[in-house]
Amino acid sequence: MQTTNVLELKKQYEQTHFELLKLLNEQASLRQQLKDLPESERSETEKLLLAELKAQNESGMLGDAAMDAIFKAVMQAKTKDEEEASKRPMLVSRAYKNEDTVIDLKGEKIGTGKASFVFGPCSVESYDQVATVAESLKNKGLKLLRGGAFKPRTSPYDFQGLGVDGLEILKRAANEYDLAVISEIVTPHDIEKALDYVDVIQIGARNAQNFELLKEAGRTNKPVLLKRALSGTIAEFIAAAEYVNSEGNGQIILCERGIRTYETATRNTLDISAVPILKQETHLPVMVDVTHSTGRKDIMLPCAKAALAVGADGVMAEVHPNPAAALSDAGQQMDLPTFDTFYNELASFQGKI
């Protein structure tokens, strides 16, 4: 008699789990349909719901801690699709695509193993200033001209850049000297406008986790040069690139530009180890900006050589016809004779590695 009773209880006990499973799947399906609710609204709803469930559980057997654990788990349980998505390798990863991404800028191919060079002033200040540097690039057979038209300055009272006028200057000089233009864009609504002027959209260190800007750049078909964030980890850097790629644009150049550390001898700490790690983990070209990382003209050349030696696909540095009078980064831009020596030595080093 007793045995029959236990068997019956066991059966009922088991049956409650199948009923729970059915309800949990219904709950997951409804949760899925509400997935576009803003995060703040969703978490507020769940908090109120949990409080109400606990209030209604006064005569129930479960304790508050169990209620918390069970319902929080139920509200956050991943669906099969979500589990699959979290396991999928990132689009920028080598696991997803083993073959190197190569970006073609007016015939200059970035990501082939042969280093490319990006030079130009910190800020665009005038046509003559940009044209003088552009001519020096052309004479060296170089193709990639940089210059900031929208400048993300620490102080709002410092020179903020010439904006679209600066982009126009870059385009004019680039057309004249047959160069490709790389320039930073700082807000999503300027991306579309910039497409008429630039060959590469630069996203700067301060905006490297501006996800709306990353996504907007990802909706274009312009190559993007993405800097590492001021205090960004390598994983955050890769995830930022994934934001661009997730919107469809896989033409991304990663640029190591130094990170914030306790060291004060350099402007930032150049994380040279990031280069081979990024090359290993992603299929994207990796460049090193030796100006903003070191902030020191006296060590730019050895650091640029180090970048090439560890496998960087390119080097970026700032050049200005009259650095002392520059409206930004006056202390660290190379003048033209220094640039000549820097480039000659770097190019000859490149031939040796």
Which pairing describes strands 144-146 and 116-120: parallel, antiparallel, or unpaired? parallel
Distance CA 115, CA 303 (A): 14
Q: Which of 292, 297, 305, 320 binds ligand PEP (CB under 6 A)?
A: 292
Q: In degrees rounded to 5, what are phi and psi of residue 317?
A: -155, 155
Quick count: other Cβ atoms within 10 Å of Cβ 266?
Answer: 15
DSSP 188: G
Cβ proximity to ligand PEP: between 93 and 270 the closer is: 270
Binding mask 142-181 for ligand PEP (x = CB under 6 A): ------x---------------------------------
The interface with Mn ion within residues 104-163 (CB under 5 A) comprises 122
Distance in Å from the first CA to the final CA of the chain: 87
Count interface residues toward ligand PEP (CB under 6 A): 10
Whole-angstrom distance, CA of residue 149 vs CA of residue 156: 15
What does 111 bind: ligand PEP, Mn ion, none (CB cut-off 5 to 8 Å by kind)?
none
| Piece of the chain touching ligand PEP by CB under 6 A; list 64-72, 103-111, 127-135, 200-208 | 200-208
Q: Please tell me whether residue 111 binds ligand PEP under the rule CB under 6 A.
A: no
Give the x-and-dash track for 204-233 against ligand PEP (CB under 6 A).
xxx--------------------x------
With CB under 5 to 8 Å by kind, the binding choice for 227 among ligand PEP, Mn ion, none is ligand PEP
Site for ligand PEP in 252-271 (CB under 6 A): 257
The SS3 call for residue 259 is: strand
320 binds ligand PEP (CB under 6 A): no
Query: Least distance (Å) from ligand PEP to the CB of residue 227?
Result: 4
* Amino acid at residue number 268: N
Q: Candidates 23-31, 201-209, 294-302, 345-353: pick the segment binding ligand PEP (CB under 6 A).
A: 201-209
* Exposure on the CB side of residue 1, measured as CA atoms within 13 A: 0
Quickly count: other Cβ atoms within 10 Å of residue 251's Cβ: 25
CB 200 within 8 A of CB 224: yes
Q: Where are the beta strands (DSSP E) in 166-307?
A: 180-184, 200-203, 224-227, 252-256, 286-289
Rounded to the nearest 10 degrees, how much is the dihedral formed by the CA atoms of 284, 188, 125, 312?
-10
Under the criterion CB under 5 A, does residue 307 sit at the interface with Mn ion?
no
With CB under 5 to 8 Å by kind, the binding choice for 218 among Mn ion, ligand PEP, none is: none
Q: Which residues bind Mn ion (CB under 5 A)?
A: 122, 329
Where along the sequence are the contacts to ligand PEP (CB under 6 A)?
122, 148, 184, 204-206, 227, 257, 289, 292
